[in-house]
Amino acid sequence: MIDETPLESVKSNISVEFESPAQAKIIYDAIILEFKTAPDFRSSMTIELDGCEILINIDAEDSTSFRASVNSAIKWIKLALEINNLTN
């Protein structure tokens, strides 16, 4: 039987590893503004740079807003990587 009580919140820590600290810094610098200006009605996201990794923390009120936050973060990283690959 499926529990019909709604989720109170969804939290996650996501780590994205890059080839080098330099590449991680380029991507971090390209997307930091997106994280700072993203609407935060039902979820919040923070981003940190740690060597070769970008650490993303998501705290959402429900699964729908959590999924939207994850999709946004992935989209921003993917786009920044594609643009970086075009320029190198």
Cα 57 to the center of its chain, rounded Å: 7
Whole-number pLDDT of residue 8: 76
Question: How far apart, in whole angstroms, are the C-alpha atoms of residue 32 and residue 1?
Answer: 42
Q: Token match 């990794």: residue?
A: 53
The CA-to-CA distance between both ends of the chain, in Å, stands at: 53
What is the token pair recorded at 85? 């690959």
Q: Token match 């936050």: residue?
A: 69
Question: How far apart, in whole angstroms, are the C-alpha atoms of residue 78 and residue 21?
Answer: 17
pLDDT band at residue 5 using 50, 70 and 90 as cut-offs: low
84 compared with 76, residue with greater pLDDT:
76
> How far is the CA of 81 from the CAs of 8, 10, 56, 66, in angstroms?
34, 27, 16, 23
Question: How far apart, in whole angstroms, are the C-alpha atoms of residue 24 and residue 38?
Answer: 21
Whole-number pLDDT of residue 1: 47
pLDDT at 65 over 70: yes
pLDDT at 85 over 90: no
Whole-number pLDDT of residue 87: 79
